[in-house]
Amino acid sequence: MIIKVGQGSCGIAAGAGKVFAALESEISSKGANVGLETVGCIGMCYLEPIVDLYEDDTLMARLVNVSEKDAQAIVNAAESKDLSPVESLKITEEDEKFLSQQTRIALRHCGIIDPDTIEGYLSTDGYKAIEKVLTTMTPEEVIETIKVSGLAGRGGAGFPTWFKWNAARQSAGEEKYLICNADEGDPGAFMDRAVIESDPHNLIEGMLIGAYAIGAKEAIVYVRAEYPLAIKRLTKAIKDAEEKGFLGDNILGTDFCCKMRIKAGAGAFVCGEETALIESLEGSRGMPRLKPPFPAQSGYWEKPSNINNVETFANVPWILLNGGEAFSAMGTENSKGTKVFALTGKIKKGGLVEIPMGKTLRDVIFGIGGGIKDDKKFKAVQMGGPSGGCIPEQLLDTVIDYKALGATGAIMGSGGMVVMDESTCMVSMAKFFLDFTAKESCGKCVPCRIGTKRMLEILTRITEGKGKEGDVELLTELCNSIKDGALCGLGQTAPNPVLTTIRYFKNEYDAHINDKKCPAGECVNLINYEIDTDACRGCTLCAKKCPASAIEGTLKNPHAINTEKCIKCGQCINVCKFGAVKKS
């Protein structure tokens, strides 16, 4: 048997590295005749560390929440092929549904192959697509296949991939560039990171096909420096691909030549915008350019350039091997194929999800994700990162495609899906995302640079209990002005969280402004803690835990909170065993 340990960033953070070391030590000390491999993230981040037992290519057992102390039992089970010693570690039928309800294309190899060896990718028909392309297809035929597939850019805008490729191909000039945008800056999004960490050769092959289609001889991956493991694995993958003849001069004995390199970005959110990314690549501060001209005509060093994100390229080899029609058969009329989402927040089963377009939000959150953590009430889901919008419960049956999500005021974005429950204050949530976009604004245009600051000031005032009549109307006016006047997509979409929370949760704004109350009990300045003297048993636990010494009382007698000292940390309500502490 082969033991495969999931070592994506999520797995390593949960202790997978220690599990791998313990297994390696156990195998060595026993001289066990079993294999040990590293694989990437299977997507079930909530169950990490995950260890899979394989017999040839067949999965015999998936073990979850594994620790170092389980190493001996796992090695014994693998060596004897008797799985009874690890029965308690096996994944449950309920958790198996997390994967069984998905359709995986971009993530098809993630958590299955070893990302550190090219042999693992080659064993899954790796580089067969580029071989087919270079030996049997013209660039125009490649572009036509992508057109038939209906593949849209997965970075957020959903622009037809074939159109961008064709525009770059038809642009005059011999020197052209293909760029991969792996500057994944949305809070709560980690789709691109997982693909690079788990299946780097798939990205390389997709980029090679794109480079051939547009006529580029140099490909660049712009990846955020906060992804060290992704950079490490991609660096090795590029070197291995060069040694095998899949990168460099005369690839696979043809006239096609293409080199690839990595550029580590400094983590500016605005560099997710393609022209700001190009500025950064050229060594300048990342700030958007005026369009037109578009990158397809004048991009990197003013040469024709094409930019797509990681997930877009990850679909390309599958499409070329299986045909454009196979991809377009999935999804909806307006949105073809599958989409990867990072499911995070107040969800029972957080992780990576890939589904055909056309599924509903309810299918993902309550079907695949298992519903809300601690069985609390669902309140909203934030789609599209800080530039997206908050979708309420009454719209849970919204179909996941670009048009339907856009109608709600949200956007598909790169695929962040942050779930919120009844304890979330929507005004505070809008402030959180606006704080992010205001800080990340490059400052080039006035609407974004100044407008987001003024909006943030108003939202801060409201959450502090200092809101006043007319604030909501002023926020709406500012939002529309920024959307109309901002230079790039960051500024144009920054108002979305505010607009959607006003649209669907205006009652919460009214409560903050008129009643000086936070219905969710989250805004510190608008909540108070008090002790019900009838329920208090005088155990003194709350007083002992209070960091501000704001609770007064003697043993076995009712206590009271000194509101002037109280810092509203919530420790008292968390430790009270009698439900005597109330929040209002």
- 538 band by pLDDT with thresholds 50, 70 and 90: very high
Q: Give the DSSP H/E element, type plus range, for residue 498.
A: helix 496-504
Q: pLDDT at position 584, please? A: 81
pLDDT in tens, 190-244: 899 999 999 999 999 999 999 999 999 999 999 999 999 999 999 999 999 999 9
- Mean pLDDT for 321-344 is 96
* Maximal CA-CA distance, the chain: 88
* β-bridge mates for residue 343, sequence order: 351, 417
Q: Which residues contact 77 (CB under 8 A, 6 or more apart)?
A: 53, 61, 83, 84, 85, 86
Is the pLDDT reported for residue 326 higher than 80? yes
Q: pLDDT at position 513, please? A: 97
What is the distance between the alpha carbons of residues 394 and 408, in angstroms, rounded to a whole number? 11
| Buried residues in 277-310 as b, exposed as e (16+ CB within 10 A) | bbbbbeeeebbbbeeeebbbbbbbeebbbbbbbb
Among 284, 281, 285, residue whose Cα is nearest residue 295: 281
Q: Name residue 27's amino acid.
A: I
Is the pLDDT reported for residue 156 higher than 80? no
pLDDT in tens, 541-571: 999 999 999 999 999 999 999 988 999 888 9
Q: Which residues contact 479 (CB under 8 A, 6 or more apart)?
A: 455, 495, 498, 499
What is the distance between the alpha carbons of residues 56 and 397, in angstroms, rounded to a whole number? 41
Count of beta carbons in the 10 Å neighbourhood of residue 463: 22
Asked if the bond preceding 447 is cis, omega within 30° of 0, the reply is: no
Q: What is the pTM of this model?
A: 0.93
- 269 band by pLDDT with thresholds 50, 70 and 90: confident
Q: Which two tokens stand for residue 252?
A: 């696979």
